[in-house]
Amino acid sequence: MTTRSEEKVFKLGTAADNDILLRANQAQALQATIRYAKGEWVLENLAPALPIFLNGILVETRKSLAKYDRIKIGDQTIHWQDYFYEGEAQELGTEDFKNFHGRISRSNFRALSLLTIGLIICIFFVPGILGTLYSYLLNRGAIRVEMTNIEVVQFISPYFYFLGYSLLGLLFLMISVKRMRDTGNPWWKILLPLYNLKLLYFKLSKV
């Protein structure tokens, strides 16, 4: 059985055996290919009757792909980063955290999990630190509104914890979805207790 790294080609079309299924009414059984050649991925439209747009520009013949490119066929948009394989050598940038598209390797997911745990601990202590800072500034006369240290912490904590832990929860959900995609599994398997941990932390990337 041939692997993706040996074939180095993605098939796009309406036929069930394609790697990327198309929904467009005018799409062909095999509409296009994305082939790895000479160190780059190249998109080719095999049925020009249905135009293909890459980042809003018409693909007339062949076009090289970059990681964050968007391919539009009919009313369907394909985010290339959902399929782009980098393995354990993956380098993450700010673009990887702007939406739920893309993949995250096992090593990067483990590192981000540790970072998340560190941030959870930091967020827990921040209101206390701010309360101490408030007391210091109050004693120096820099603040005139008089509240006790405990009152400041009680006032800040609910808002700070809600905002901080909500953002962290969203971040962890995002990287979990990306990691699950990287393993070749559907996102909903995140909801399966224990089995989700096996997939997220131990399963290798799907090539």
Structure tokens at 191: 């909801």
CATH level 3 topology of 4-84? Tumour Suppressor Smad4 (2.60.200)
Number of CB atoms found within 10 A of residue 159's CB: 10
Whether 5 shows a pLDDT value over 50: the answer reads no
Give me the residue spans of the domains in the chain. Answer: 4-84, 106-202
DSSP codes joined into one string, 35-64: EEETTEEEEEES-TTS-EEETTEE-SSEEE
pLDDT digits (tens, 9 = 90+) for 45-92: 999 889 999 999 999 889 999 999 999 999 899 999 999 999 899 999
pLDDT digits (tens, 9 = 90+) for 87-142: 899 999 999 999 999 999 999 999 999 999 999 999 999 999 988 888 888 888 77
Structure tokens at 103: 């993949």
What does the mean pLDDT of the chain come to? 91
The sign one gets for the Cα dihedral 166, 170, 171, 173 is positive
Which pLDDT score, from 0 to 100, does residue 3 have? Answer: 43
Collapsed DSSP state (helix, strand, coil) of residue 64: strand
Q: CA 198, CA 168: separation in Å to the nearest integer?
A: 21
Structure tokens at 3: 């692997």
